Amino acid sequence: MLEFFFQMLNVSELKGYTQITHGAFFKMSNMECRDMNNEYLREKVCRLKAVKRDTVEATIRFQILKTVDNCNMHIELLRKYNTYQPFFINRTFDVCEFMRNRKNAVYLDILVKLIEKYSNMNHSCPYEGEFILERFRPSHNNLILPIPSGDYLIKFGFYTSNVLMAHLYVWFGFKELERWEVDKKGVSPKSLKTNFLV
């Protein structure tokens, strides 16, 4: 999923709902799987599903047609002004090396921690069979991003031996809690919906 997380999130249970002393909200608005290389991958599912007003789930399934024994992933983050413009991250990671030692890639570590319980890609190369990301829905009470509130596009490019296998584009809205939204009584589910930035 940025020397990304420079803020801290503290949560505790109070009167049946989660008390958030600092946090943020994240909602995906669109997702596209593009430029599929049919020599390596076949798209089976690539969709978002709204499960309630402030919660969207992502499901992706790719059939891997050739064993992938080396994999690089390029990540680029863009923020919407009048148009989407580069913002903060534009970097390529060696996925196989990272999954072997889980070191020296802060941005990638954040991403993996976000998706690992939803995905079967929790090991190093080789990759074969099917890639699955099932009903991914980031929890608001463990999501801390050092980016300002706004609308964003994050682009992922997946490569093997310098050959593009696929692009994944995800559009999302992000909103930090304001001070007035957080007090000793916590934040009720009603206020989470009212104040969420889509």
**pLDDT of 90 over the 60 cut:** yes
| 17, 188 contact by CB (below 8 A) | yes
Total Cβ atoms within 10 A of residue 180: 7
Mean pLDDT computed over 189-196: 42
Determine phi and psi for 71, rounding to 5 degrees. -150, 125
How does residue 177 score in pLDDT terms, banded at 50, 70 and 90?
Answer: low
Check residue 19 and give its pLDDT: 33
Mean pLDDT of 25-32: 90
Per-residue confidence band for 149, with pLDDT thresholds at 50, 70 and 90:
confident
Q: Which helix (H) or strand (E) holds 100?
A: helix 95-101
Average pLDDT over residues 10-28: 45
Fold of 24-182: Ganglioside M2 Activator Protein; Chain: A, (2.70.220)
pLDDT given for residue 76 in this prediction: 96
Quote the CA–CA distance of 131 and 60 in Å, as a whole number.
8
> Is the model's pLDDT at 55 over the cut of 90?
no
Mean pLDDT of the region 65-71: 95
Indicate whether 187 pLDDT > 60.
Answer: no
Give the pLDDT score at 189: 43
pLDDT of residue 2: 33
Q: Where are the domains of the chain?
A: 24-182
Residues in the chain: 198
